[in-house]
Amino acid sequence: RKGAGAFLKDRLLRLGIPIMLWVFVLGPITSIGLYLEPNPRIAEPLTWQHYRQAYPYLLGLGPLWFVALLLIFSIGYVAWRLVTGERASPAPNQSAQPGMRVIGLFALALALVSTLFRILVPMGQSVHLFVDFIDFPTFAYLPQYLSFFIVGVVASRYDWFEQIPRSQGIIGFVAAAVAMALLFPVAFFGGLPDKFLGNGHWQSALYALWDSIFAVGLCLAVIPFFRRFFNGEGQFGHFLARHSYAVYILHSPIIVLVAWAVQGIELESWLKFGLVSAIGVPLSFLVAYGVRKVPFAARIL
């Protein structure tokens, strides 16, 4: 709708700038935690000289690897549209809603492609693109990420999200539950510590079948569920939704600093986790609210 140039400009603003902010500013700040709690096997006591020397090694995508992947997919989508000359349909085509047979075949095909891909890139193996700090920690899931991106584009064009019937949601939930009960445990049978990760083992094929059915099934289940029971937004929910992207980008250094601040308190681990969450989550939204008040920041975050 916007045209290729305007769309890419918007994606570079919304995705590219946060990536740069994280890689060169927020990521290294988050890593200060290594220096705040010195360990002779990990880091020396914090000095600015040590920190400046370590700075190049602290660069990385961190949690924004997903944003980087989305930016790559968006650029690929624009390139595809330019090469094919394809234009979006002016109106939704409700007859294009896929049935369960098509959805089931999609899940099976996704499992097969994932199994083959994990021969090349097993789960747990990070992949670096271009430079060391552009790293993707879960690259083994690339077939799932890419296929779901494509399905999302098509679903948005043909209004599938509003058409998924309750019956498909129930079937999806049952399929996910059955896969969780049967396939997930079997995938680990004789597969520990690493056969289920990839490299062509049968446990890897079962694991790929499980996570494909589970992911597709839950997507089918949650969309009609939330559409029916949570298809509204109050003032508080609107505030959370409006600031959630900024929280996603900003939360890591906040959580690290809160965790360091309470590290001297004697508590059980789960209680300390609750304490950090109770402080860190509201604080993250508060910081996000303040940052979005900066001129032009709301256009990005």
Domain holding 26, by residue range, is: 1-87
Same domain as 72, residue 118: no
Same domain as 120, residue 4: no
Residue finishing a domain among 181, 200, 231: 231
Mean pLDDT along residues 227-231: 86
Same domain as 212, residue 109: yes
Question: pTM of the entire structure?
Answer: 0.87
Identify whether the C-beta of residue 181 lies closer than 8 Å to the C-beta of residue 213. no
- In this predicted structure, the answer to whether residue 173 has a pLDDT above a threshold of 70 is yes
pLDDT at 70: 95
Q: CA-CA distances (angstroms) from residue 149 to 51, 72, 125, 156, 268?
A: 39, 11, 22, 11, 41
- In this predicted structure, the answer to whether residue 87 has a pLDDT above a threshold of 80 is no
More confident residue, 51 or 143: 143
pLDDT at 96: 67
Same domain as 267, residue 242: yes
Same domain as 265, residue 191: no
* Amino acid type, 71: L
Could you report the per-residue pLDDT of 258-277, keeping only the tens digit for each?
988 888 888 888 999 999 99
pLDDT at 272: 92
Same domain as 51, residue 157: no
What does the alpha-carbon distance between residue 218 and residue 212 come to, in Å, rounded to a whole number? 10
Identify whether the C-beta of residue 299 lies closer than 8 Å to the C-beta of residue 270. no
Q: Would you tell me the crossing angle of helices 100-120 and 202-229 to the nearest 10 degrees?
A: 140
Could you report the per-residue pLDDT of 120-154, keeping only the tens digit for each?
999 888 888 877 888 899 999 999 999 999 999 99
Same domain as 47, residue 12: yes
Residue finishing a domain among 61, 87, 113: 87
What does the alpha-carbon distance between residue 44 and residue 259 come to, in Å, rounded to a whole number? 20
**Which residues sit opposite 43 in a β-bridge?**
39
Same domain as 138, residue 15: no
pLDDT at 191: 56
Same domain as 185, residue 226: yes
Q: How many domains does the chain have?
A: 3
Same domain as 220, residue 101: yes
Same domain as 78, residue 102: no
pLDDT at 54: 81
Same domain as 213, residue 105: yes
3-state secondary structure string, the chain? CCCHHHHHHHHHHHHHHHHHHHHHHHHHHHCCHHHHCCECCCECCCCHHHHHHHHHHHCCCHHHHHHHHHHHHHHHHHHHHHHHCCCCCCCCCHHHCCCHHHHHHHHHHHHHHHHHHHHHCCCCCCEECCCCCCEECCHHHHHHHHHHHHHHHHHHHHCHHHCCCHHHHHHHHHHHHHHHHHHHHHHCCCCCCCHHHCCCCHHHHHHHHHHHHHHHHHHHHHHHHHHHHCCCCCHHHHHHHHHHHHHHHHHHHHHHHHHHHCCCCCCCHHHHHHHHHHHHHHHHHHHHHHHHCCCCHHHHC
Residue finishing a domain among 87, 119, 146: 87
pLDDT at 150: 95
Using the structure block, give the residue that is written with the tokens 């193996």.
125
